[in-house]
Amino acid sequence: MNIKKTKEGYKIESSSRKGNWYEVDPEKPWCDCPAYKFRELKKHGVCKHIKAVREYIEKTQQKTLTKEQKKADDVLAFIESNGGEADAIELIEKFGEERVDKLIHSGEIIERAGKIKILK
Ligand SMILES: [Zn+2]
């Protein structure tokens, strides 16, 4: 199913009527398709659109997490290959300050006198 993120929430295209988009709020939950308004709402159920949007959100979140982890792994792998220690300036130039700072804050690496070490 086609899903779009909008300012207000999500829109999903009807699978039976192409070009017809329903507004979905996966939290509330709410969908403005007839199945939800006339059936699911009364029995506190969810329609297939709400289910699809929830799945979509879960998948996107997982992807972001994996990306973040990969970014962290790159930095750590570089330090490891450098003998477990790297120059702070060099590391920041190579990977960006934000990524290095994040690892310091999460306690994975430590900076001392301009050198970065992996905390084990
Ligand atoms: Zn629906």
Predicted confidence (pLDDT) per residue in 41-56, tens digit: 999 999 999 999 999 9
- Using pLDDT thresholds of 50, 70 and 90, give the confidence band for residue 68: confident
> What is the model's pLDDT at position 93?
96
Instruction: Say how far apart CA 108 and CA 20 lie, in whole Å.
Output: 48
How far does residue 35's CA lie from ligand 1's centre (Å)? 6
DSSP 112: E
> What is the model's pLDDT at position 1?
85
Average pLDDT over residues 25-39: 95
Average pLDDT over residues 19-29: 95
How far does residue 30's CA lie from ligand 1's centre (Å)? 8
Instruction: Say how far apart CA 33 and CA 10 lie, in whole Å.
Output: 13
Q: In this structure, are strands 3-5 and 10-13 parallel, antiparallel, or unpaired?
A: antiparallel
pTM (predicted TM-score): 0.65
- Cα-to-chain-centroid distance, residue 23: 22
How far does residue 28's CA lie from ligand 1's centre (Å)? 13
Question: To the nearest whole number, what is the mean pLDDT of the chain?
Answer: 93
> What is the model's pLDDT at position 72?
84
Q: Kindly state the percentage of the chain with pLDDT values over 90.
A: 81
How far does residue 61's CA lie from ligand 1's centre (Å)? 22
